[in-house]
């Protein structure tokens, strides 16, 4: 009777382990980001280390926030999902409050925190992923079976997208819609039902994309940037020239020429072009490989969590993996001329206070998922060993071996023949 409390204590005392591959990819990307921000921004301010110091300060604060998230139980985060959703709406409305919201180049995307401006959509991405993961857990069966359960998260993301388009921020709006669609598919939504909202939403987003003249110019210049290399195609042509100059091995760290006031936003949106110029094709492959490792491990961890019936943790991992994968693909695609120019940073590499902070929080959340998955696997293994040991203790002791019975005497030859004739007769009488 005393084994049960002892066993429960042992299970609670078991800890997990942060996924080493995931942690290695994060550290490698963040370290590469520090080096490339130092290289790309050295001529961008009066002080050569202005952006580097700023980046490292935000990275240090982000790592502190990530460590706090890594020590927080996921069930505590899940319990606050409604507050996080409310926080998304409040943050997107705060940018329009006079004196609090900050306007940069005509866009209202930031709030003034005193020491720095904060781009609210970066926090909205994390908060919304956590809320949607919780929603998919609570209504997992209904999302697949009913229209109402599927349309509710789509309606909420439509509200958030409407607020983002008022800022305006078309890139983040598209990214948030893509994350929502991906998480619903991974959460088991009925695919034929999903086609309806998609067929309605795509034309609306297309109309919004071409309604503004500057967005239309980006779309047209993307198809042929060399038609107007000093106008609408200026950013893309310089990005392509930077990557082309890098060839296979690059021209060397710090040797970029296009970063000398040719490439705009060189330490944020177009830092990938500087990587291509200074580190070459091999450097580009390294960055792509690190993102592939990070996103791949996120999906593997999410799948294992779902298999262990830890659905909230699994959906959070899926959401963060979709976010990092899509945003890094768009950012690199813009620099390579595969996608229209969009102002999305390269996660963990680009300079930018809000992006660095909230990406670190997302990475801490992902590491916490891997920790609790490992802890659950160890607890299940220990519980299985305990049950097997208890079953062996309850098994009956084998009795003493019984000596074999003596062999029957062999009857005479005539006796066998007589028995074969008589026994059927008695059977018929009976």
- Specify the higher pLDDT residue, 221 or 113: 113
Residue-level length of the chain: 430
Confidence check: pLDDT of 403 > 90: no
**Mean pLDDT comparison of 141-145, 380-384, 418-422, highest-scoring range:** 141-145
Alpha-carbon span 213 to 264, nearest angstrom: 20
Listed residue (236, 206, 201, 195) closest to 334, CA to CA: 236
Kindly tell me if the per-residue pLDDT of 424 is higher than 50: no
Q: Count Cα neighbours of 300 within 13 Å in the Cβ-side half-sphere.
A: 11
In sequence order, what are the residues at sequence separation of 6 or more whose Cβ sits closer than 8 angstroms to the Cβ of residue 209?
A: 170, 215, 216, 219
Contacts of 302 (CB under 8 A, 6+ apart): 186, 313, 314, 315, 316, 317, 318, 321, 369
Query: Any bridge partners for residue 104, and if so which?
Result: 107
SS (H, E, C) 51-115: HHHHHHHHHHHHHHHHHHHHCCCHHHHHCCHHHHHHHHHHHHHHCCCCCCEEEECCEEEEEECCC
The strand pairing partners of 102, in sequence order, are 110
Nearest Cα to Cα of residue 65 among 365, 306, 388:
365
DSSP 228-284: STTTTTHHHHHHHHHHHHHTTT-S-TT--STTTTTSTTTTTTTHHHHHHHHHHHHHH
Domains of the chain by residue range: 18-382
Could you tell me what percent of the chain has a pLDDT over 90?
48
CB 319 within 8 A of CB 183: yes
Share of the chain above pLDDT 70, in %: 87
Q: What is the chain's alpha carbon radius of gyration, rounded to the nearest angstrom?
A: 32
The interaxial angle of helices 271-307 and 234-246, nearest 10 deg, is 90
Give the model's pLDDT for residue 282. 95
pLDDT tens by residue, 278-297: 999 999 999 999 999 999 99
Alpha-helical segments (H) within 258-352:
271-307, 311-335
Tell me whether strands 107-112 and 117-119 are parallel, antiparallel or unpaired. antiparallel
pLDDT at 358 over 60: yes
Q: For 39-51, write each residue's pLDDT tens digit.
A: 988 887 777 888 8
Nearest CA-CA partner of 39 in 255, 327, 309: 255
Bigger pLDDT: 134 vs 197: 134
Please, which pLDDT band fits residue 346 given cuts at 50, 70 and 90? Answer: very high
Give the separation between CA 362 and CA 357, rounded to whole angstroms: 9
Assess contact for 197 and 154: CB atoms under 8 A.
yes
Measured distance between the N- and C-terminal CA atoms of the chain, rounded to whole angstroms: 58
In the block, which residue shows the tokens 């997302």? 362
- 117 by DSSP, 3-state: which? strand
pLDDT at 1: 47
DSSP 8-class letter at 411: P
Highest mean pLDDT among 319-323, 389-393, 395-399: 319-323
């Amino acid at each position: 009777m005393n084994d049960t409390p002892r066993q429960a204590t042992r299970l609670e005392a078991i800890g997990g382990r942060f996924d080493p591959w995931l942690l290695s990819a994060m550290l490698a990307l963040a370290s590469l980001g520090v080096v490339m921000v130092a290289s790309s921004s050295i001529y961008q301010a009066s002080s050569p280390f202005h952006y580097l110091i700023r980046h490292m300060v935000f990275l240090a604060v982000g790592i502190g926030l990530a460590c706090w998230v890594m020590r927080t139980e996921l069930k505590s985060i899940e319990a606050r999902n409604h507050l996080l959703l409310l926080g998304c709406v409040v943050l997107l409305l705060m940018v329009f409050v006079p004196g609090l919201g900050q306007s940069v180049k005509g866009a209202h995307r930031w709030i003034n925190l005193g020491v720095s401006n904060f781009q609210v959509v970066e926090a909205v991405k994390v908060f919304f992923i956590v809320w949607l993961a919780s929603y998919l857990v609570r209504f997992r069966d209904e999302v697949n079976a009913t229209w109402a359960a599927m349309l509710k998260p789509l309606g909420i993301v439509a509200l958030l997208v409407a607020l983002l388009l008022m800022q305006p921020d078309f890139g983040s709006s598209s990214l948030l819609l893509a994350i929502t669609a991906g998480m619903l598919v991974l959460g088991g939504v009925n695919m034929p039902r999903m086609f309806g909202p998609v067929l309605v939403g795509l034309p609306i987003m297309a109309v919004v994309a071409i309604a503004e003249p500057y967005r239309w110019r980006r779309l047209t210049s993307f198809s042929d940037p060399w038609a107007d290399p000093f106008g609408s195609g200026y950013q893309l042509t310089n990005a392509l020239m930077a990557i082309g100059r890098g060839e296979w091995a690059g021209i060397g760290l710090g040797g970029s020429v296009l970063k000398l006031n040719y490439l705009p936003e060189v330490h944020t949106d177009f830092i990938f072009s500087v990587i291509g110029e200074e580190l070459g094709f091999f450097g580009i492959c390294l960055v792509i490989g690190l993102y592939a490792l990070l996103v791949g491990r996120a999906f593997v961890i999410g799948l294992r969590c779902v298999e262990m019936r830890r659905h909230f943790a699994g959906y959070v991992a899926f959401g963060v993996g979709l976010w990092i994968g899509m945003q890094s693909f768009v950012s690199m695609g813009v620099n390579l001329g595969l996608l229209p120019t969009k102002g999305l940073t390269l996660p963990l590499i680009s300079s930018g206070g809000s992006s660095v902070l909230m990406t670190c929080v997302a990475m801490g959340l992902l590491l916490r998922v891997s920790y609790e998955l490992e802890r659950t696997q160890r607890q299940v293994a220990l519980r299985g060993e305990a049950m097997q040991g208890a079953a062996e203790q309850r098994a009956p002791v084998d009795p003493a071996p019984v000596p074999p019975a003596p062999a029957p005497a062999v009857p005479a030859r005539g006796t066998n023949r007589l028995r074969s004739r008589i026994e059927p007769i008695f059977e018929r009488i009976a």
